[in-house]
């Protein structure tokens, strides 16, 4: 089975979906040396012989012109590239794929945010809705990150359950691990921070609900010595962010610094209204950081019993939990221990194997349909 991976959207500063794509890409390339990657980014762990370079000017997911360029690439140039590379089954890590049948295809649906929050996605949301309808028409196989998203795709798009596989995401245990206290002072000085601090990591789209975290922090800030550190692109926020001496905003930090932010934070708070998975929760737990998360979307599946959950609309509940975690050292240590144990269930190898198996099922189904004269 020769798999092709459509990663033409990848850029040099990967966040959640980009990290997922790179890790799974490495896994699939290791599982099958015939795997071909279509991307402008050379990923460590992927042999150059397995790469097919794509145009650099179409990568990135936040620029409308780039998105239009990729749509043209996916529906025109890619089909010729696939044929030339003798690809048998195509894996698309995001909802960008050929809208006319080319070959057996597996598409990853991470979440349904563009449907639920259309005002935050503009034209991309409309394209997403159209593409979701095409999945059913083309009978492409679908992979989701959680049972919650699978159920939402079945309900919203009418896809057959047997055409959807659930694979959970993973984390890199060599990268995300507790960092020594001896490095803390230098790290904090580098980023002009003081301990202790509460951490948020993610985009600042309104559905991430950072405003609830800020409001909760303001309720307790005079009762605790903490700073609130928010890592995320500020230009994605729909409203001006509240300015306060005890709130630090960082639009982007180098990836190698993220494990240190997790390790030296008193807690990670993830207040999102709706999530398909929540990769930063795993990363924080792996670094020995207790987690408070909303119960939105699939997050209870990810958190399990290793973190504290709250209704994302309840500011006072979040404030109470933050105070409780700061003051109760026994609870704090219990969550740290449970988190370090919990994350061992999630690996990128398992994710890659799950996608490989989905591709095999997709190809086998296509062959059976051809034998029966249906395709």
Q: What is the mean pLDDT of residues 239-265?
A: 92
pLDDT score at 61? 67
User: pLDDT digits over 19-68, tens only?
Assistant: 899 999 999 999 999 999 999 888 888 988 999 999 988 887 667 788 88
pLDDT score at 13? 75
pLDDT score at 67? 82
Average confidence score pLDDT of the chain? 92
pLDDT score at 373? 63
User: pLDDT digits over 274-330, tens only?
Assistant: 898 999 999 999 999 999 999 999 999 999 999 999 999 999 999 999 999 999 999
Query: What pTM was computed for the model?
Result: 0.90
Same fold, 3-170+348-371 and 181-345: yes
Give me the long-range contacts of 335-339 (CB less than 8 A, separation at least 24): 335/290, 335/291, 335/306, 335/307, 335/308, 336/288, 336/289, 336/290, 338/305, 338/306, 339/284, 339/285, 339/286, 339/288, 339/289, 339/290, 339/291, 339/306, 339/307
Could you state, in order of their start, the residue ranges of all structural domains in the chain?
3-170+348-371, 181-345
Question: Does 126 have pLDDT greater than 60?
Answer: yes
122-138 vs 147-157: helix crossing angle, rounded to 10:
80
pLDDT score at 59? 85
User: pLDDT digits over 136-185, tens only?
Assistant: 899 899 999 999 999 999 998 888 899 999 999 999 999 999 999 999 99
pLDDT score at 216? 98
pLDDT score at 295? 96
Distance from the Cα of residue 164 to its chain's centroid: 18
CATH says 3-170+348-371 is which class? alpha beta
- CATH placement of domain 181-345: 3.40.50.2000
Q: What is the mean pLDDT of residues 79-85?
A: 93
């Amino acid at each position: 089975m020769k798999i092709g991976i459509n990663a033409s959207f990848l850029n040099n500063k990967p966040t959640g979906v980009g990290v997922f794509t790179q890790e799974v890409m490495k896994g699939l390339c290791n599982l099958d040396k015939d795997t071909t990657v279509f991307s402008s980014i050379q990923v460590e762990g992927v042999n150059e012989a397995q790469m097919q370079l794509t145009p650099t000017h179409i990568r990135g997911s936040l620029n409308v012109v780039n998105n239009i360029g990729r749509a043209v690439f996916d529906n025109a140039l890619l089909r010729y590239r696939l044929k030339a590379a003798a690809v048998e089954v195509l894996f698309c890590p995001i909802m960008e794929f050929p809208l006319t049948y080319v070959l057996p295809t597996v598409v990853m649906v991470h979440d349904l945010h563009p449907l639920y929050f259309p005002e935050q996605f503009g034209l991309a949301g409309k394209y997403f809705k159209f593409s979701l309808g095409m999945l059913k028409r083309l009978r492409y196989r679908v992979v989701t990150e959680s049972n919650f998203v699978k159920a939402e795709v079945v309900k919203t798009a009418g896809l057959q359950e047997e055409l959807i596989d659930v694979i959970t995401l993973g984390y890199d245990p060599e990268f995300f691990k507790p960092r020594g206290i001896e490095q803390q002072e230098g790290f904090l000085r580098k980023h002009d921070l003081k301990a202790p601090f509460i951490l948020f990591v993610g985009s600042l789209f309104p559905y991430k609900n950072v405003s609830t975290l800020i409001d909760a922090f303001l309720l307790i800030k005079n009762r605790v010595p903490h700073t609130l550190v928010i890592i995320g692109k500020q230009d994605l926020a729909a409203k001006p962010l509240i300015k306060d001496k005890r709130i630090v905003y960082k639009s982007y930090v180098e990836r190698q610094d993220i494990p240190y932010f997790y390790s030296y934070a008193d807690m990670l708070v993830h207040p999102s209204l709706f999530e398909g998975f929540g990769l930063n929760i795993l990363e924080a737990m792996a670094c020995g950081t207790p987690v408070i998360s909303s119960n939105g979307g699939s997050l209870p599946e990810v958190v399990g019993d290793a973190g504290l959950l709250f209704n994302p609309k309840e500011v006072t509940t979040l404030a109470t939990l933050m105070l409780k975690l700061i003051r109760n050292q026994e609870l704090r240590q219990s969550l740290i221990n449970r988190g370090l144990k919990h994350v061992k269930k999630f690996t990128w190898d398992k994710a890659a194997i799950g996608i490989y198996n989905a591709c095999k099922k997709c190809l086998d189904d296509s062959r059976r349909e051809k034998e029966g004269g249906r395709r």
